[in-house]
């Protein structure tokens, strides 16, 4: 028996899929007949199966909001489909307590020729609501979707935004105990995005369990109570969201750095686990970056920096032996564009210490940026460059840049 405090309990879960791409290995009537006549069981032959999950253990307590992160092909979506019951485990067990609603794809079973109202009915029943429940919730769904008179028009006349809003409205009105979400928090325009965010917060407050798969690490960090990092079909790390996300970021950065040097990395091979830190370091490193801190003028670290505030980046470094050290800091916008890059020769250094980069005025527009802090000793880059998010508080006007400006008449 499982303790009643867990919404989802996964024990040593394996899931493998049959490879279908290999030539001569299609199941045909003939091959299947031959197999039947010979009385063979379907064998799990090595090489013809892809192991998507290789021994996952996970306990998700009731009321938790858990983000599942990991690279493409690491097994995240497979795990979600197993939680939902769409797939069944190859071996191992998975127990989900309570009613599950999965937002894997919005609008499952929508028919283009039917009106919004008719589609709410059918979609709602597919998602597991009874007719009575639907009748009761119909006004709420229609109101949430904000379709106006379009609710009685065929769905094929809808814009894609309207379609998504309707689908999202139905899916979130199922009133599940466990909500499983795959990358769909960004629905519709800014206004609807906020509205769905509110709905999600409502879910969380009312003690529902939420499992969320996303590549948006900021969401996981800010919004989830815990995060699970899946890598190569196993849980690599499970714990509080910020530290899991940080560890994941570092591993990706390390793999990227490795890739730049050797021309290939684990990132190029789908399904392959990222190398662990020890693997990457390969011997004793010459130097490391131990920590990076962001501070404003007063020496504090606010949740978001004001555009006009000064910024200090403190880099704790350590070298094994005396070396010529060069520090580098890249600032990237959320879409990965380089905003600026700066490098500085620290000269001959030994032991450990702290390097500082001071910006008298941040001068950035509101939003989330990413800092990549790296260093090199005697031309050899450190294996663990630091990545961290920089939140800048929104101001009047948009854009990456926020120079000191003054309007006048």
Partner 1 sequence: MIRNLTELYQYRALLIALSIRELKARYRASVLGFLWTFLNPTLNMLVYVLVFGMVMRASVPNYAYYLFTGLLPWLYFSSSVLGGTSSISDRKDLLTKVRFPAQVLPATVVLTNLINFLLSLPLLLGLGLFFGVVPSWHIVFLVPVLLVQTFFILAVTYLFAALNVAFRDLQHIVGNLVQMAFFLTPVLWDLKSAPAIGSLTKEESQQLLLTFNPMASVVASYRDIFYEQRLPNWQPLLSVAALSLVLMWISTNVFERRREEFAELV
CB of 259 vs partner 1, minimal distance in Å: 32
Least Å distance between CB 64 and partner 1?
Answer: 21
Distance of alpha carbon 206 from the chain centroid:
23
| Closer by beta carbon to partner 1, 93 or else 130 | 130
Rank residues 182 and 370 by Cβ distance to partner 1 and give the closer one.
182
Q: DSSP H helical segments within 173-240, as ranges?
A: 190-205, 217-223
Residue 88 sits in the site that holds partner 1 (CB under 8 A): yes
Contact window for partner 1 (CB under 8 A) among 116-124, 229-237, 295-303, 391-399: 116-124
Q: Contact with partner 1 (CB under 8 A): which of 5, 19, 22, 28? A: 28
89 phi and psi, to 5 degrees?
Answer: -65, 145
Using the minimum distance from each CB to partner 1, give the nearer residue, 176 or 307.
176
**Are 139 and 147 a contacting pair, CB within 8 Å?**
no
For partner 1, the closer of residues 125 and 368 by Cβ is: 125
CB of 18 to partner 1, least distance (A): 8
Q: Is 141 helix (H, G, I), strand (E, B) or coil?
A: helix
Q: Is 21 in the site for partner 1 (CB under 8 A)?
A: no
Sign of the CA dihedral running 8, 9, 12, 17: negative
35 lies in the site for partner 1, by CB under 8 A = no
Q: How many positions of this chain bind partner 1 (CB under 8 A)?
A: 30
Q: What does the block give as tokens for 238?
A: 């499970």
From 82-90, 240-248, 276-284, 372-380, give the range in contact with partner 1 by CB under 8 A: 82-90
Give the long-range contacts of residues 34-39, CB within 8 A, separation 24 or more.
none
Residue with tokens 């499992």: 211
Instruction: Tell me the closest approach of the beta carbon of residue 260 to partner 1, in angstroms.
Output: 37
At 342, phi and psi to the nearest 5?
A: -140, 145
304 lies in the site for partner 1, by CB under 8 A: no
Q: By CB under 8 A, is residue 114 in contact with partner 1?
A: yes
Output the smallest distance, CB 308 to partner 1, in A: 48
Output the six-digit token pair for 268: 């190029």
What is the helix (H) or strand (E) element at residue 118, kind and residue range?
helix 116-126
Cα separation values, 32 from 22, 50, 154, Å: 17, 20, 44
Residue range at the interface with partner 1 (CB under 8 A); choices 97-105, 255-263, 314-322, 372-380: 97-105
**Strand-pair category, 226-231 with 65-69:** parallel
Contacting partner 1 within 127-186 (CB under 8 A) = 127-128, 130-131
What three-state secondary structure class fits 158? coil
In 3D space, the residue among 365, 360, 344, 206 whose CA is nearest the CA of residue 296 turns out to be 360
Closest CB to partner 1 among residues 76, 387: 76
Q: What are phi and psi of 64, to 5 degrees?
A: -85, 155
Residue 179 CB, nearest approach to partner 1 (Å):
13
Q: How far is the CB of 362 from partner 1 (least distance, A)?
A: 44
Tracing tokens 């006009």 back to the chain, one arrives at 308
Q: Which listed residue (84, 209, 219, 221) binds partner 1 by CB under 8 A?
A: 84
Find the binder of partner 1 among 35, 54, 73, 122 (CB under 8 A): 122
Residue 253 burial (CB count, 10 A): 18
Q: Which of residues 258-287 bind partner 1 (CB under 8 A)?
A: none
Alpha helices per DSSP H over 236-349: 241-262, 277-281
The yes or no reply on residue 318 touching partner 1 (CB under 8 A) is: no
What is the distance between the alpha carbons of residues 289 and 408, in angstroms, rounded to a whole number?
A: 47
CA distance 14 to 12: 7
Q: Positive or negative, the Cα torsion across 194, 198, 204, 210?
A: negative
By C-beta, is 115 or 333 nearer to partner 1?
Answer: 115
Q: How far is the CB of 150 from partner 1 (least distance, A)?
A: 18
Q: Identify which range of 80-88, 135-143, 347-355, 359-367 contacts partner 1 by CB under 8 A.
A: 80-88
- Rule CB under 8 A: is residue 403 a binding residue for partner 1? no
Q: How far is the CB of 67 from partner 1 (least distance, A)?
A: 21
Residues making contact with partner 1 (CB under 8 A): 17-18, 27-29, 32, 81, 84-88, 100, 102, 104-105, 108-109, 111, 113-114, 118, 121-122, 125-128, 130-131
């Amino acid at each position: 028996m499982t303790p009643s405090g867990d919404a989802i309990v996964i024990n040593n879960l394996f899931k493998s899929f049959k490879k279908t791409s290999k030539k001569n290995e299609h199941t045909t009537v003939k091959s299947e007949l031959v197999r039947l006549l010979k009385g063979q069981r379907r064998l799990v032959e090595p090489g013809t199966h892809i192991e998507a999950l290789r021994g996952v253990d996970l306990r998700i307590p009731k009321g938790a909001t858990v983000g599942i992160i990991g690279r493409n092909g690491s097994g995240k979506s497979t795990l979600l489909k197993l939680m939902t019951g769409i797939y069944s485990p190859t071996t191992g067990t998975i127990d989900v307590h309570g009613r599950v609603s999965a937002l894997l794809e919005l609008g499952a079973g929508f028919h283009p020729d039917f009106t919004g109202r008719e589609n709410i009915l059918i979609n709602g029943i597919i998602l597991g609501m009874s007719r009575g429940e639907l009748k009761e919730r119909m006004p709420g769904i229609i109101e949430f979707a904000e379709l106006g008179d379009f609710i009685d028009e065929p769905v094929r006349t809808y814009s894609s935004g309207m379609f998504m809003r309707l689908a999202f409205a139905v899916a979130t009105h199922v009133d599940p105990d466990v909500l499983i979400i795959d990358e769909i928090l960004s629905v519709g325009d800014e206004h609807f995005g906020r509205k769905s965010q509110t709905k999600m917060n409502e879910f969380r407050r009312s003690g529902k369990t939420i499992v969320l798969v996303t590549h948006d690490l900021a969401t996981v960090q800010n919004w989830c109570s815990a995060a699970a990092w899946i890598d190569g079909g196993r849980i690599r790390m499970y714990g509080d969201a910020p530290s899991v996300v940080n560890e994941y970021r570092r591993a990706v950065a390390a793999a990227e750095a490795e890739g730049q040097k050797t021309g290939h990395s684990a990132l190029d091979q789908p399904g392959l686990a990222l190398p662990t830190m020890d693997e990457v370091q390969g011997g004793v490193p010459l130097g490391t970056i131990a920590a990076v801190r962001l501070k404003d003028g007063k020496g504090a670290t606010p949740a978001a920096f004001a555009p006009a505030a000064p910024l200090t980046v403190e880099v704790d470094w350590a070298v094994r032996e005396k070396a010529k050290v060069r520090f580098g800091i890249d600032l990237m916008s959320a879409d990965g564009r380089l905003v600026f890059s700066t490098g500085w020769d620290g000269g001959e250094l030994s032991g450990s210490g702290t390097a500082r980069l001071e910006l008298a005025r941040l001068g950035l527009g509101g939003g989330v940026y990413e800092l990549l802090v790296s260093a090199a000793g005697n031309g050899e880059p450190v294996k663990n460059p630091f990545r961290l998010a920089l939140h800048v508080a929104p101001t009047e006007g948009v854009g990456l840049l926020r120079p000191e400006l003054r309007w006048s008449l």
